């Protein structure tokens, strides 16, 4: 068994994938101790050819191709093909710090961690040093439920190194049938089951690259409705698992904000009112609307009340404000 598998789905990232792979091969453990599993998810650019040429120089790169099913199912396939103690899911347009893996794996092993959070949230990333500084800035070990209740966890799939045994024991996989926002669905569930979690406090080893045309940043009806399926999955998770009321609220709160993030996408895209009505009807059908999470913040309580009581009026007002910007 290898120590680590990098799992890298690729889909039309020919301009970035070599940079990504270069960072993965420039690490401080022998190539025999880790592999790079690349899942080509039906790319229609030259990315696969570039990867195949790059891989000729490295024995620890494995390449598999499938018809386009989305990054969630590509990651599932990569994990299925892996045989390693830990896995790290990497987006093919991102990259990691060189020579960081040895120390990261040592921390994960010493702490017997189920999940190791190695990158900050996107919003805060510019405030973090992007140089690995060792174990002095690692948090104490806590449970995933404690991390959820803190509200400080991050939801990027790539933010964590995972124990393969932990993922398999809890039958954790990425939601099939969606093409975006699968991290919003996967991370809270994984943290719910995780017994031992730690996180990096003041630096990042992951470089997140924002592309305007990436799956999660481009507006489409399919990606919009993916949010509702994610919210529905989170809501169902509450129904199907025994948990304290405080944790139920965490999941319901996240489901509600996933629904609202879709509304914000509609407003930002200046979408027609009919599409909002269709979105709202689908949310009702999936039982993720009305919004049902509780909040101690008055601003959030008012926001939820407005959307629950006057959704169409609220949408028109916010859309008009956006148009005037």
Query: How many whole angstroms separate alpha carbon 268 and alpha carbon 79?
Result: 35
Query: Does 212 map to a domain?
Result: no
Q: Which domain holds residue 312?
A: 221-324
Number of domains in the chain: 2
Give the pLDDT of residue 211.
Answer: 61
Kindly state whether residues 41 and 138 are assigned to the same domain: yes
Residues 110 and 164 in one domain: yes
- Whether 213 is covered by a domain: the verdict is no
Q: Are 173 and 79 in contact (CB under 8 A)?
A: yes
Shared domain check, 268 and 185 = no
Identify whether residues 90 and 172 lie together within a single domain: yes
Q: How many residues in the chain?
A: 325
Residues 68 and 167 in one domain: yes
The last residue of a domain, from among 144, 177, 207: 207
Residues 157 and 22 in one domain: yes
Closest CA to 250 of 156, 163, 162, 146: 146
User: Are residues 307 and 178 part of one domain?
Assistant: no
Residues 190 and 54 in one domain: yes
Per-residue pLDDT of the chain (325 residues; tens, 9 = 90+): 999 999 999 999 999 999 999 999 999 999 999 999 999 999 999 999 999 999 999 999 999 999 999 999 999 999 999 999 999 999 999 999 889 999 999 999 999 999 999 987 554 455 555 565 666 678 999 999 999 999 989 889 999 999 999 999 999 999 999 998 999 999 999 999 999 999 988 777 888 877 655 444 557 899 999 999 999 999 999 999 999 999 999 999 999 999 999 999 999 998 989 999 999 999 999 999 999 877 778 888 899 999 999 999 999 999 998 887 6
Is 266 a domain residue? yes
CATH number at residue 75: 3.90.550.10
């Amino acid at each position: 068994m290898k120590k680590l598998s990098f799992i890298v789905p690729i889909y039309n990232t020919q301009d970035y994938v070599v940079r990504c792979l270069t960072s993965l091969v420039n690490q401080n453990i022998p190539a025999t101790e880790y592999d790079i599993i690349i899942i080509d998810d039906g790319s229609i650019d030259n990315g696969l050819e570039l990867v195949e040429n790059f891989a000729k120089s490295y024995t620890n790169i494995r390449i598999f191709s499938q018809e386009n099913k989305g990054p969630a199912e590509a990651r599932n396939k990569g994990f299925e093909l892996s045989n390693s103690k830990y896995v790290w899911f990497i987006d093919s347009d991102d990259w990691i710090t060189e020579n960081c893996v040895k120390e990261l794996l040592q921390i994960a092993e010493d702490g017997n961690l189920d999940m190791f959070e190695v990158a900050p949230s996107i919003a805060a990333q510019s405030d973090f040093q992007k140089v690995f500084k060792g174990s002095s800035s690692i948090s104490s070990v806590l449970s995933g439920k404690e991390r959820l209740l803190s509200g400080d966890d991050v939801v990027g799939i790539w933010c964590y190194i995972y124990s393969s045994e932990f993922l398999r024991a809890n039958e954790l996989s990425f939601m099939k049938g969606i093409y975006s926002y699968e991290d919003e669905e996967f991370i809270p569930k994984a943290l719910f089951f995780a017994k031992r979690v730690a996180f990096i406090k003041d630096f990042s080893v992951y470089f997140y690259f924002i592309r305007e045309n990436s799956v999660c940043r481009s507006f489409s009806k399919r990606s919009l409705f993916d949010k509702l399926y994610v919210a529905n999955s989170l809501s169902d998770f509450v129904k199907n698992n025994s948990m304290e009321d405080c944790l139920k609220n965490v999941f319901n709160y996240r489901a509600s904000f996933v629904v609202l993030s879709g509304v914000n996408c509609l407003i930002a895209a200046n979408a027609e009112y009919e599409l909002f009505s269709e979105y709202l009807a689908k949310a009702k059908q999936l039982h993720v609307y009305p919004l049902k999470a509780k909040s101690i913040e008055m601003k959030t309580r008012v926001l939820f009340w407005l959307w629950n009581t006057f959704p169409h009026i609220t949408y028109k007002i916010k859309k008009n404000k956006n148009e005037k910007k």
